[in-house]
Structure 1
Amino acid sequence: MRRIKSPDLLVAESGADLEGHGLRRTMGLFQLVCFGVGAIVGTGIFVGLSDSVAEAGPAVVVSFVLAAITCVFTAFSFAELGSAIPVSGSSYSFAYATLGERIAFLTGWCLLLEYGISVSAVAVGWGQYLNELLDGLIGRQLPAALSNPPGDGGVVNIPAVVVMLLAALLLVRGVRESARATAVMAVVKIAVLILFCAIAFTAFSSENLSPFAAHGLMGVTSGASVAFFSYIGFDAITTAGEEVKNPRRNIPLAIMICIGVATLLYCLVAIAAIGAMSAADVASRPAVLSLIVDNVTGSTLGGGIIAFGAVVAIASVVLAVLYGQTRILMSMSRDGLIPRIFERISPKTSTPVANTWIATAVFAVPAAVVPLDVVMNLTTIGTLAVMAVVNIAVIALRRRNPDLQRSFRVPLFPALPVLGVLFCLYLIYGTGWRTWLQFGAFLLVGSLVYALYGRRHSRLGAAQDRGAVGERT
């Protein structure tokens, strides 16, 4: 708790060249919004919708709104912190500036779930829609053992590994190239989801919405916990703090735009899907959006187009979230809490090349061999824990640094951050006790890593120790 890094120091360090070659500010507001949409809209709606419907039934629309409200409360906090501390570390850096190094490290550790493990979860769903696309194009599919997640007929998910390698190749080429690719993919997947709604609404039946809340309040809560996965990634916008033009203005604006776009899309898609096919038929069906379009149109062409959109959408999420993970690891490495190899920037591409390849190699393993539901639940609870910390951090920063420059302030302060914490805890409750135990074990391992490595190699700790020695002499 005594090791708190001031916001001014964080910003100053982010502006300094790393080994003579720093990051470049090349992203404008449009690119940042596309990056945010790219990070959010993907597996959660194309693959995870059926799991949310299995929990909540037609009331899944309420689940999406409940998850969105949780995100909006926290989005206000992210917007204020992102405008006050525009650096690459996102929640990790915000916690370091307000709650101390130990909490910051554990926040960064949880971000391994939100970004690293979520990359794995997102990549897992890619193979399902890739098979739908191949089936429509050439009438063949990849073997289930090599394209499905374990537990769903798969042994090793090869497409999940392939999409991560492709994203890494693009990321190491440069941020400008990655941002352009993300912008194109974001436009494509929004267009495909709008097309899905247009087709599905032609077969809409209000009878499919009854009974609306078949599984009661607990079903809506569980559905919201699952649906929350669909919103994971909006905070990745703050990881681009050092590569965005005018970050104090553009980061808060991009966060709000992305949350609004995602919520509108999700509610429309959910209503269209259940209206066209009953909740019982939608529940727990892989590649369900393509299936619905095939049934409505009586042909595989429409489903093939949806599958193409899903392949593009999921690839863009992998790209954006893997980007966020590498920037967080880079920030932690700067502080000495993890090895220095993660902070090295290539003089040729101005990207953390070694960092990117290491992260890709590590998180490709769970993508290949871990069942999707396990990965999604751990990602959800880790993200909710991080968001609770961010809401606490914005309160702490107001009290610790009331005069710090902020281009955005949380309205109705401190009520909204407090509500944000409470909503996060409510959705954590909905993940179930098995996920709580897994998350508790994960935090215990993180505490040991900090005690054995991070605390001893902390650059802030070393600087404080030198200062203490100087005072004594």
Structure 2
Amino acid sequence: MSRTGTAARATDEGHGLRRSLGLRDLVVYGLLFIAPMAPVGVFGTLDAKSHGAVALVYVVATVAMAFTAFSYAQMVRVVPRAGSVFAYARAALGEQAGFVAGWMAMLDYLLIPAVAYLFSGIAMNSLVPEVSRWVWTALAVVVTTALNLRGVRAAARAGFLVLAMEVVVLLVFVVSALVVLGQDGAQRGWWSPLAGDGTQGPFALSAVVGAVSVAVLSYLGFDAIATFAEEVTGDGPGTRRKGGGGRPAGGSETVARALLFCLALAGVLFVAQTYLVALLEPAPSARLAADPAAQGSAFYDAVDASVGTWLHDLVAVSKAIGAAFAALAGQAAAGRLLFAMGRERRLPRALARTDSGLPRVALLCAAVITLVAAVWAARRGDGMDRLVSVVDIGALTAFTLLHASVVGWFAVRRAGGPVSWWRHVLVPVAGAAITVAVIVEASAAAQAVGAAWLAVGLVVLVVQRGRGMPVTGRPGPG
């Protein structure tokens, strides 16, 4: 029996990850990682880049990311494993591609939580400046790690409360914005968030596409849902996995639905809030484009000018708490990825140990790495910029290999039954084209770090090969 098959059997016998998550828990983790008000920090940049068509940017970005969500839904149904894209590429493309996909995803999963922790530390330091931001950052790591070590259900319950708070704050903003717009009217044209405000010339599709490459980064994290595939309860008896095996596939169907629902809901929230704040924004997009320093606070400035400082403070507190719990979801996903790669002996085997159905060793390892990165950045003036510039390349490279896995599994290996050319070829090829285009648009520094990380991973792969580890096998889904 293959290692993958043995691990799957161990899980079924209760010696692997504990199945305790439902659809709501998965959506909570996904939305926590994304954050319902993710556009707050990048609104000004996107408004300037798109010539004022910021809501249209998020419409296009949601459609673009839908290709990736669709590919995840295809693969999780046939390879419902904790390693997510690592497991998919390993099953469809072979051991080498699987390792590369997992290695690149690690860059994303380990550093995105560090960025979120740092954001939380900065926000708390602004409220209580007597305490250094690196102390707040470390405290956020400790609290959320403790929740993760208590189990996915405990973390999901705490996360649900935080997510509810963020949604309430978002609703307060929406209602307040609608009241102001009803009383005072819009600062810009009602169609300008979709067609541009005209201050930088006529509508330019190229400007919108250029801004999409930045907006796509707001969605990174929804894919973390797939890492919980081995901890999801089934939908009920009688649901069977495609391809045989006789075991219920309800859990993988739940993951697929959660992925698609989470992305769609995030897209609606992003479009709605950017549309409203663009109408409230007193500064034209041309002025923001000419003053990059004003772009980071553009959302808050618009809220201050139209609604009041009280809403500014409410949003800021919500973002501080929400960022810490976004990191909680990211840390949990990173732990599952390390666990899966350790189980397949692509990382130290100790990472695959479980305690009461939890990958505690992998979680602690992820927490330590994230803590070091976050505190290091918190003690530097340019720490945020350095982290943000590199977190995205890993995810986008992993997404590209995800799309390749769909083609490899269904169209090349024909392991999933009859081939649907639009689902198994057209959609993943289009998705890969989008992710590659975003990688090309990334900063030179991010590309350099991504290339260096990939080079280190290839060296690790060569070393493993030299020790006699298999690198050409194509394991099935288990």
CA drift of 1:19 comes to 11
Contact 1:381/1:439 (<8 A) preserved: yes
User: Which residue matches 1:336?
Assistant: 345
User: Which residue matches 2:373?
Assistant: 366
Match of 2:359 among 344, 352, 361: 352
**C-alpha distance 292-409 of structure 1, shift in aligned 2 (>3 A):** farther
User: Which residue matches 1:432?
Assistant: 443
**C-alpha distance 220-212 of structure 1, shift in aligned 2 (>3 A):** farther
CA drift of 1:67 comes to 2.4
**C-alpha distance 119-405 of structure 1, shift in aligned 2 (>3 A):** farther
Contact 2:18/2:358 (<8 A) preserved: no
Find the residue that maps to 2:355 and give its secondary structure. coil
Find the residue that maps to 1:119 and give its secondary structure. helix
User: Which residue matches 2:430?
Assistant: 419
User: Which residue matches 1:97?
Assistant: 91
Q: Distance in 1 between matches of 2:472 and 2:52?
A: 56
Contact 1:335/1:460 (<8 A) preserved: no
User: Which residue matches 2:404?
Assistant: 392
User: Which residue matches 2:225?
Assistant: 237
Q: Distance in 1 between matches of 2:20 and 2:468?
A: 31
Question: Greater shift after overlay, 41-50 or 336-345?
Answer: 41-50
User: Which residue matches 1:210?
Assistant: 197
User: Which residue matches 1:380?
Assistant: 392
Question: Greater shift after overlay, 161-170 or 215-224?
Answer: 215-224
**C-alpha distance 57-462 of structure 1, shift in aligned 2 (>3 A):** closer
The two structures, once aligned, show a CA RMSD in angstroms of 3.1
The residue type paired with residue 139 of structure 2 is V
Q: Distance in 2 between matches of 1:293 and 1:11?
A: 55
The residue type paired with residue 401 of structure 2 is V
Question: Greater shift after overlay, 417-426 or 215-224?
Answer: 215-224
User: Which residue matches 2:139?
Assistant: 162
Match of 1:108 among 102, 117, 122: 102
Q: Distance in 2 between matches of 1:236 and 1:337?
A: 20
**C-alpha distance 352-409 of structure 1, shift in aligned 2 (>3 A):** farther
Q: Distance in 2 between matches of 1:457 and 1:129?
A: 47
User: Which residue matches 1:150?
Assistant: none
CA drift of 1:42 comes to 5.7
Q: Does 1:269 align with 2:273?
A: yes
CA drift of 1:95 comes to 0.5
**C-alpha distance 417-461 of structure 1, shift in aligned 2 (>3 A):** closer
The normalised TM-score by structure 2 is 0.82
Give the alignment of 1:140-179 within 5 angstroms.
140-142=128-130, 146-147=132-133, 157-179=134-156
The residue type paired with residue 366 of structure 1 is A
CA drift of 1:312 comes to 2.9
What do the CA deviations read for 1:298-325 (whole angstroms, capped 9, x no partner)? 3x33223212321232122111111111
The residue type paired with residue 369 of structure 1 is W
CA drift of 1:115 comes to 0.9
CA drift of 1:291 comes to 4.4
User: Which residue matches 2:239?
Assistant: none
Question: Greater shift after overlay, 354-363 or 231-240?
Answer: 354-363
Structure 1 gap segments, 5+ residues each = 135-139, 148-156, 465-473
**C-alpha distance 355-442 of structure 1, shift in aligned 2 (>3 A):** same
Contact 1:199/1:293 (<8 A) preserved: no
Structure 2 gap segments, 5+ residues each = 235-250, 378-382
Contact 1:59/1:212 (<8 A) preserved: no
- The count of aligned residue pairs is 436
Contact 2:109/2:330 (<8 A) preserved: yes
Question: Greater shift after overlay, 34-43 or 321-330?
Answer: 34-43
User: Which residue matches 2:158?
Assistant: 181
**C-alpha distance 341-412 of structure 1, shift in aligned 2 (>3 A):** closer
Match of 1:297 among 282, 307, 314: 307
Find the residue that maps to 1:259 and give its secondary structure. helix
Find the residue that maps to 1:225 and give its secondary structure. helix
Contact 1:128/1:287 (<8 A) preserved: no
CA drift of 1:182 comes to 1.8
CA drift of 1:199 comes to 2.1
**C-alpha distance 373-272 of structure 1, shift in aligned 2 (>3 A):** farther
Question: Greater shift after overlay, 112-121 or 35-44?
Answer: 35-44
**C-alpha distance 373-410 of structure 1, shift in aligned 2 (>3 A):** farther
CA drift of 1:327 comes to 0.3
CA drift of 1:99 comes to 1.2
**C-alpha distance 457-222 of structure 1, shift in aligned 2 (>3 A):** farther
Find the residue that maps to 1:210 and give its secondary structure. coil
Q: Distance in 1 between matches of 2:32 and 2:460?
A: 32
**C-alpha distance 303-337 of structure 1, shift in aligned 2 (>3 A):** same
Contact 2:104/2:398 (<8 A) preserved: yes
Q: Distance in 1 between matches of 2:97 and 2:65?
A: 21
Q: Distance in 2 between matches of 1:308 and 1:346?
A: 35
User: Which residue matches 1:83?
Assistant: 77
**C-alpha distance 66-428 of structure 1, shift in aligned 2 (>3 A):** farther
CA drift of 1:120 comes to 1.4
**C-alpha distance 288-16 of structure 1, shift in aligned 2 (>3 A):** farther
Question: Greater shift after overlay, 87-96 or 37-46?
Answer: 37-46
The residue type paired with residue 178 of structure 1 is A
Q: Does 1:119 align with 2:101?
A: no
Question: Greater shift after overlay, 454-463 or 84-93?
Answer: 454-463
The residue type paired with residue 234 of structure 1 is F
Find the residue that maps to 2:230 and give its secondary structure. coil
CA drift of 1:111 comes to 0.8
Find the residue that maps to 1:16 and give its secondary structure. helix
The normalised TM-score by structure 1 is 0.83
The residue type paired with residue 447 of structure 2 is W
Q: Distance in 2 between matches of 1:91 and 1:306?
A: 34
Q: Does 1:58 align with 2:65?
A: no
**C-alpha distance 458-86 of structure 1, shift in aligned 2 (>3 A):** farther
Question: Greater shift after overlay, 239-248 or 412-421?
Answer: 412-421
What do the CA deviations read for 1:7-54 (whole angstroms, capped 9, x no partner)? xx6365234159974211111111111121112126842333344345
Contact 1:39/1:234 (<8 A) preserved: yes
**C-alpha distance 171-328 of structure 1, shift in aligned 2 (>3 A):** same
Q: Does 1:250 align with 2:254?
A: yes
